[in-house]
Amino acid sequence: MTLVDRVARPQAAHVAHTEEWFSILLSLAGTAVAIGVIWEAPAYEPANGLVWALPVWAAFLYVLIGIVLLLVSATQIRVLGLLDSVLAVLPIIAGAVTGVEWLLGHLPLSAFQAMTLLALLVAGTSEFLLTLWIRFVLNRRTVAIDSVSS
């Protein structure tokens, strides 16, 4: 390929934005796995004591990975970043619906599954609020009303 061909046909820009796509997929997959575990076996009680720590550690890793991915991509203004911010609320919505079903008595949860639900809600809320806050702080997006003195 000659230089003239390269100028005439510019190559497609790299638009993968892997950190934002991975954050979106993490949100979707994490929510699906947590809700799937809760709804598939609502009465599950693990016999091993170490298994009780899994939901809390999974929620902690979810938030930690989400923050790292966010810090890599938060200064870049893209539509995909907005989609990432909107989808960060998905675990909260899924957890809230499951919580309402539990409170109404339609889904009897064991203590372990209730803890899993609580871990999902705390991790989802933390990631959602941190996503919004970090994107606003790093991009200096604020709302201000200037008053004009007469």
Do residues 90 and 28 lie in contact, with contact meaning Cβ atoms separated by under 8 Å? yes
Q: What angle do CA 133, 94, 65 make, to 5 degrees?
A: 45
Task: Kindly write down the DSSP assignment for every residue of 62-89, as one continuous string.
Answer: HHHHHHHHHHHHTTS--HHHHHHHHHTT
The structure tokens 């790292």 sit at: 68
pLDDT at position 83: 81
Q: Three-state DSSP class for 45? A: coil
Taking alpha carbons only, the member of 15, 44, 42, 25 closest to residue 98 is 42
pLDDT at 43 (0 to 100): 92
Phi, psi of 78 (to 5 degrees): -140, 160
CA nearest to 98, candidates 88, 90, 107: 107
Q: What is the pLDDT of residue 33?
A: 94
Query: What token pair was written down for 81?
Result: 């970043």
pLDDT of residue 32: 95
What angle is formed at CA 129 by the lines to CA 123 and CA 130, rounded to 5 degrees? 85
Q: What is the pLDDT along the chain (150 residues), one digit of tens a residue?
A: 565 555 555 555 554 567 778 888 999 999 999 999 999 999 999 988 899 999 999 999 999 998 888 888 766 666 677 787 788 899 999 999 999 999 999 999 999 999 999 999 999 999 999 888 887 777 665 554 555 655
Entry pTM: 0.77
